[in-house]
Chain A
Amino acid sequence: MGFEVIFKGKNFIRLLEGLGVALKISLVSVIISIVLGMIVGMIMTLKNPVIRAVSRIYLEIVRIMPQMVLLFIVFFGFTKMTGRNISAELSSVIVFSFWGTAEMADLVRGCLTSIPKIQYESSKALGLSRLQTYVYVIIPQIIRRLIPLSINLITRMIKTTSLIMMIGIVEVLKVGQQIIEANRKSSPHAAFGVFAVVFLLYFLACWPISRLAGYLERKWT
């Protein structure tokens, strides 16, 4: 079945290192996305028509453009247009942060607009400034709803980072392919075992996180 190649030499360690590469890129992108998404989400609730139009276009681009296409635009298109070479890692962080920020901002905006208007009005009546209203009244309320949703974003980010192999980053799928190629003669059935293990590794990386998100969602709402 091809499971024997997994434990040959350093193959399993190499697979884990490959997964590590993907996880590192998703972690960096998710941190950028959450921080920027909070800010952008708050800006999106402003009633300014220009901001509204821009944020609508931004959200719609992210909604309908596959991340793969964005990855190609940044990795190949940017280089072609500016003549400057950017690394595959940097392009993937740029693309995933661009995507994640929109997702996060939309969640933040959704949470903010679901807070009843009376909360804002009462704060105003109490003499709180706009900043104080956010810090003491609004943010504590939305944070509980936001945490499970942002944890969900992490699993989606991890799943999306599997795309980085398509722009040449050596991550877990690529390592899997290399192992299969290298052992073509000795174990021709390696493809089954190796890809089953990669499948399982991704599952083990995402499943606990999405369980945690589900648990927090049930507990806090």
Chain B
Amino acid sequence: MDTGVITSYIPIFAKAFLLTLKIGWIGVALAFVTGIAGAFTLYFKIPLLSAAVKCYVELFRNTPLLVQLFFIYYGLPVLGFKISAEVCGAVGLGLLGGSYMTESIRSGLDAVPKIQMESAASLGLSRSQTFMSVILPQAFTISVPGLVANVIFLLKETSVFSAISLMDLMFTAKDLIGLYYNTTESLFLLVLFYIAMLLPVSFAGSVIEKKMRSKMFGGRDDGI
């Protein structure tokens, strides 16, 4: 490995890293918004919309992001929706993630025992009070592991953005390999930057999970 090559590549990779990070996190934010909206629609059984959300979730959970991006980026302009690669990446990631988030949040909401709702009603809490201060906090705690896994999954999926010629980490690595054949150095930096992107998230995720679990079960960490 040539350290000179590596130092000269770092700025190029850093630029791509920032772009990947930006679009990745915008996508994650969109996914959360979509997921919360979708899960609430399903939970409150809003007619018609519920059916639409169900179709959306099935459709996007059962197709690869690469195919979704190709459809959005190359297919939709035919109908007049022309968007830049950056927007397409964020929207595609948001749509894919939205379907996963909907599932995770919905299963969290469903997992709250029914007795909680009945007890809240008998205490005289209104429907909205019950939902906001009884159901939601518990549901959130239950869905945390799933949500963390989704965030990591989505940030990993950013690696396919290069297919729609977005200048992300993958694209940069491929480009540099093609131009100068410094394969080892490029791959080394690629791995390094992905570790920098995901290791903190993975670590923070396990800390949050642990905290949530102790909050839920009173500090007992014996795998209930």
Q: Mark A146-158, 1 if CB is under 8 A from B, else 0.
A: 0000000001000
Residue of B nearest to A63 (CB): B202
- Chosen A-B contacts, 18 in total, with CB atoms closer than 8 Å, are A64-B199, A65-B195, A66-B194, A69-B159, A69-B190, A162-B64, A162-B66, A162-B67, A166-B163, A176-B70, A191-B75, A198-B67, A199-B71, A202-B62, A203-B59, A203-B63, A207-B62, A210-B62
Q: Is B179 on the interface with A (CB-CB < 8 A)?
A: no
A202 & B156 in contact (Cβ 8 Å cutoff): no
User: Which B residues contact A (CB, under 8 angstroms)?
Assistant: 58-59, 61-64, 66-68, 70-71, 74-79, 152, 156-160, 162-163, 170, 173-174, 177, 183-184, 187, 190-191, 194-195, 198-199, 201-202, 223
5 residue pairs, one from A and one from B, having the closest CB atoms = A66-B159, A68-B159, A162-B64, A64-B198, A192-B78
**Bound-complex Cα distance A64 to B187 (A):** 15
Known contacts A196-B71, A198-B70, A206-B63, A76 near B183 by CB under 8 Å? yes
Least CB distance, A71 to chain B, in whole angstroms: 9
Q: Mark A191-221, 1 if CB is under 8 A from B, else 0.
A: 1111110110011001100100000000000
Cβ of A180: which chain B residues have Cβ within 8 Å of it?
74
Cβ of B177: which chain A residues have Cβ within 8 Å of it?
76
Least CB distance, B119 to chain A, in whole angstroms: 26
Chain A residues numbered 58-94 whose CB sits less than 8 Å from any CB in chain B: 60, 63-69, 72-73, 76-77, 80-81
**Bound-complex Cα distance A191 to B195 (A):** 36
Chain A residues numbered 171-201 whose CB sits less than 8 Å from any CB in chain B: 173, 176, 180, 189, 191-196, 198-199
User: Which A residues contact B (CB, under 8 angstroms)?
Assistant: 1-2, 60, 63-69, 72-73, 76-77, 80-81, 113-114, 155, 159-160, 162-163, 165-166, 173, 176, 180, 189, 191-196, 198-199, 202-203, 206-207, 210
B187 & A76 in contact (Cβ 8 Å cutoff): yes
A192 & B63 in contact (Cβ 8 Å cutoff): no
Compute the total of residue contacts between A and B using a CB distance below 8 Å.
112
A196 & B187 in contact (Cβ 8 Å cutoff): no
Cβ of B170: which chain A residues have Cβ within 8 Å of it?
66, 68-69, 72
Residue of A nearest to B69 (CB): A195
Cβ of A165: which chain B residues have Cβ within 8 Å of it?
66, 163
Cβ of A160: which chain B residues have Cβ within 8 Å of it?
64
Residue of A nearest to B62 (CB): A206
B70 & A80 in contact (Cβ 8 Å cutoff): no
From A2, A63, A162, A207, give the contact of B78 (CB < 8 A). A2
**Bound-complex Cα distance A146 to B183 (A):** 40
B152 & A64 in contact (Cβ 8 Å cutoff): yes
Least CB distance, A20 to chain B, in whole angstroms: 16
Least CB distance, A30 to chain B, in whole angstroms: 15
A77 & B66 in contact (Cβ 8 Å cutoff): no
**Bound-complex Cα distance A196 to B59 (A):** 12
B63 & A159 in contact (Cβ 8 Å cutoff): yes
Residue of A nearest to B195 (CB): A64
Residue of B nearest to A77 (CB): B187
Least CB distance, B217 to chain A, in whole angstroms: 16
**Bound-complex Cα distance A67 to B159 (A):** 8
Residue of A nearest to B66 (CB): A162
B63 & A1 in contact (Cβ 8 Å cutoff): no
A72 & B198 in contact (Cβ 8 Å cutoff): no
**Bound-complex Cα distance A69 to B191 (A):** 7
B79 & A192 in contact (Cβ 8 Å cutoff): yes
Cβ of A176: which chain B residues have Cβ within 8 Å of it?
70
A195 & B62 in contact (Cβ 8 Å cutoff): no
